Structure 1
């Protein structure tokens, strides 16, 4: 996704650091090459008082290089057969076998608007047919299902988000640049990142909380694949990679993001059981809005276009024409920043919303609804 890393000469801000990200989606070319889809995205730290969750790291133990190499080889043998390549029209992405019934979890931006797919598994070059079960673009996740479950294909083991900690060694598996069954390695660089992904050029426009940041290389085609720990457990679905304008918008080394496994489980389980997501767990104001600019022509808030009857905002007296400038003490200047301010909130939670009406500043306590 296209956004930009701040110039290295700029002063760092304590509040939010905009990044440029590229969806790890691969366009199919006749010569087999790939180019990244372009969508805007932004990364920010969690709002004050909402510390990103990180488990306490295990006690350090000394390991030889041979031990670590053996661990890598074991993880690859265990997990790589569960990672597939997905062809959706003119794009390529990756997926992870979720269960023994042929369900595969991937990114919503990988499948786009397609309903049928060609899936290539690790032990065969002959593509298999799969159909869409359901997509949940709000979290950039989707589930597809193979028509037949081939012999030897097994579901991956999925880990525990609560045990993901900064410094853990991880491997990213997928089909970067169309090279199926590829593996890169790195560490968990951070947890609790909030990422806003633009809708242009193939993105879903989702704002995703609690993303896992990793130094493992994430390239076009990795989207929907597996971020795996040394216990052979999937801990995230690689989705985004940062780009740096100073590198000609090339991928910024060592800055990638994966959707946490807790959200992957939540969405996939509901889609498989109900055919759709019935409980997103994501908060919403129940409005449609647009970014407005101030006298200095800089983004200055979100104008309410409609406030759904019975929705959270309408219930608190917010109406069309009001301009939202803050949520829960966090400044709101754009649609993306409004989504980020709500990303870690839950339905039925009460928050203070600051807005202007006719030039006067007002505050309302809003009981949040569900996305």
Structure 2
């Protein structure tokens, strides 16, 4: 499902959920809070105590963001749009006010992920634990941690609202934009400054990196309350491990067709497809018989009217998936069965 979303650094002020109390007319003694409420509150506090020390504030050239301590060597994972084009940063740990210097390890804007490294990592860094993304389910309670609006070590709560979302981020001066598949949707508040922070379950595991929030076009592009998105833990660890090891990504885990395309317009100058400019030899499109000059109009049942629509359709699929590509050649509709490769 495509969601139009504005790229916003996440960070939220939390709203406390206390247990209700009642006072009798003849007594000033409040009724005790339900035992279940106390237990949930204790669970929240325990998770916050365990995970918040792993969440940091990052100051980059274009502003503030958040990050997650990835290992004891000083590697910190965050969003690519947080680091932008900068290579040097300052990082503030949750248990300190002293800014630490950090440098860029690598960035992968296609998945909006990056890794930076502390120049002189202090002892006692607490790396976060990452969850098994396949076990994330709708209804699970989540806590979003980060530095919204510069308010470091802030926490908000919500639930997993949906999984498997495909979301497009807009292009900005600091980010080329990206279309990311399999994202976690959450009702936990996500605000500017929270990007790169942790979305956490009640087992004190990071289930995703807070990345963006949806915007409501009926509210002049204002953030839509309670609709935020996080990059799932499996994507985070897969990309981060490659950036740390090689400084680049060689296996994105994202599906690819093996073509370069340009916009195509119909006789009324309306967007009508993605015209193939080049086909990678031996790639999925070549194996399916597609050629330069063909105009891609569908991926399975999803209409393709532009190159960005093709990117979105492919982002919802995985390498090795079989897909039916609808296309036009010399004005005639045709289709090809292809096995998708890796971006």
Question: Residues 22-61 of structure 1: matches in 2 within 5 Å?
Answer: 22-25=6-9
SS at match of 1:158: coil
Question: Residues 220-259 of structure 1: matches in 2 within 5 Å?
Answer: 220-259=192-231
One of 70, 74, 92 as aligned partner of 1:120: 92
* Total equivalences in the alignment: 320
RMSD of the TM alignment (CA)? 1.9
Larger Rg: 2
2:116 corresponds to 1:144: yes
What whole-Å deviation, never above 9, does each CA across 1:221-241 have from its counterpart, x for those lacking one?
Answer: 111100011111111001010
Alpha-carbon offset, residue 359 of structure 1: 1.0
1:39 alignment partner in structure 2: none
Take 1:203 and 1:265, find their aligned partners in 2: how far apart are those partners?
21
2:252 corresponds to 1:307: no
1:184 alignment partner in structure 2: 156
Take 1:206 and 1:310, find their aligned partners in 2: how far apart are those partners?
26
Between 1:347-356 and 1:144-153, the stretch displaced more is 347-356
Question: Residues 339-350 of structure 1: matches in 2 within 5 Å?
Answer: 339-350=311-322
Alpha-carbon offset, residue 309 of structure 1: 3.6
Alpha-carbon offset, residue 152 of structure 1: 3.4
TM-score under structure 1 length normalisation: 0.81
What whole-Å deviation, never above 9, does each CA across 1:82-119 have from its counterpart, x for those lacking one?
Answer: 10111110221110001111110101111111111111
1:101 alignment partner in structure 2: 73
Take 2:310 and 2:234, find their aligned partners in 1: how far apart are those partners?
23
2:240 corresponds to 1:268: yes
User: Which structure 2 segments of 5+ residues have no match?
Assistant: 11-33
Between 1:173-182 and 1:329-338, the stretch displaced more is 329-338
For the structure 1 residues 348 and 238, does the alpha-carbon distance in structure 2 shift closer, same or farther, using more than 3 Å as the test?
A: same
1:75 alignment partner in structure 2: 47
Take 1:173 and 1:184, find their aligned partners in 2: how far apart are those partners?
7
2:318 corresponds to 1:334: no
Alpha-carbon offset, residue 211 of structure 1: 0.6
2:341 corresponds to 1:369: yes
Take 2:124 and 2:219, find their aligned partners in 1: how far apart are those partners?
43
